[in-house]
Structure 1
Amino acid sequence: MNFENITIEHNQHIGTVTINRPKKLNALNKATIEELHQAFVDLDQDPEVRVIIVTGAGDRAFVAGADISEFADFSVYQGSQLAAKGQELLFNLIENLSTPVIAAINGFALGGGLELAMACHIRVASDNARMGLPETSLGLIPGYGGTQRLPQLVGKGRALEMILTAGMIGTEQALMWGLINHMVALEQLLPLCEKIATKILNNSPVAAAAAISAVNSGFSDQGYPKEIETFGACFATQDFKEGTQAFLEKRKANFTGN
């Protein structure tokens, strides 16, 4: 299958998916999410692929968020559907994939980009990476599982600090907090991911799939429907309209709390 926004490479039982929208800093739009869905389904069903690595094109961004211009005028229903469909098609799919997925975070991983990385089973970041969930600066909350996976990884207090401040953290802090597994120089990012993948290849793929399922079962999924509902409700607020308009106009938002 030919893709417009991603590329796929196969090497020694490792499939590498590269999000290839460098002019948009690899931002996730609807088409890219659908392509990623198909790519992960295909790779998971390919008996020759036993580990998947996902990364972004270039050296500036893994994924610098969602494409805000696609949903700035959405209604509550459309917002809820955006989150629900995105979670189903991509983020929950990756988290529950039987094939181990390693995120190679090369640069900015913001909003949906960080949510994509958190859905992966293992995260490795280059030392120039910056991570954050800036949605509250748009009058929103994370809608692709960020309110659930971030506390699982870094704890409730640190997660709330990141979400409420809408700030970014560097790789050293992300490593200290447990958000990522490893930090390396950019030129060593893919080699280290491939090294980890090779270690996984030495073990039983059946056992690997069972381990992923067992670990995931330890976390309740009741929070995800609540996130979708609350994310959608934000689309009815004046703050959302002001936040997204300010972003698109490249100015500071003037929130009123309505």
Structure 2
Amino acid sequence: MSVSPDLKVERKPKLSESVITAIRKQLLAGEILPGQKLPTEGQLTETFGVSRTVIREALAKLAADGLVEPRQGAGVFVTEHISTMFGALAADMGAKDSIALHVLEVRLAIEIESAGLAAIRRNAAQEAAIQEAFFEFERMLLASQPTGPADLAFHRAIASATNNPFYVEMLDVLGRRAIPCDVTSPWSTELVQSDSYQRGLQREHLVILNAITAGHAEAAREAMRTHLGASQQRYRERLQARQAFYASSVKAAAGE
């Protein structure tokens, strides 16, 4: 039986996506306020008529987008210092390749100055937090585990060391989408998960860390500019390679 070319088959949305959409709408409408605790897993299960697994998947996605945060032993709370409108926008970006480049462009505008300010303004505890995130990245890398959370923690610790909460808020808006090397990112590939690739990231992190701990603001800015600029270039090269592969695949298929 032939299938009409005009027939469109739409993918049935996952149950977790329906839960995510519903919670986002409540956030945007102000029905759930910043800092407010979400209902328990059991309550959400009853409300949406789905399993606990579906609820956990939805909450993990909302947390990855920076809209909610789990607190050990207390539950899941709406992120306090974040614009839910911007957070929802970041969550709706989808997996379009160009978005990763847009995110990196925004990060360049934010994080170059945050690195310089961190070099000047950080206190001992904040400097220690940056170092801890750096060594956590190293630990995860040696253990062959996802480094994305540690990578984000490193950049977030630098933003926090500016002592200007808006730098942290902007990174929280971007959430884990800010880190393409995270295996949970829609832009993650085998290349960015490779040891050699992430070793390169860590070398760039070390230059940033050394400049901040030395209190050299301009060196810290330049190190961050180099790091994020290199990330832009690496991602452009991956996109070009992907496009070339697609073009060759189409050509090969046409010749069959």
TM (norm. structure 1) is 0.28
- Which structure dedicates a bigger proportion of its chain to strand? 1
Larger Rg: 2
- Which structure dedicates a bigger proportion of its chain to helix? 2
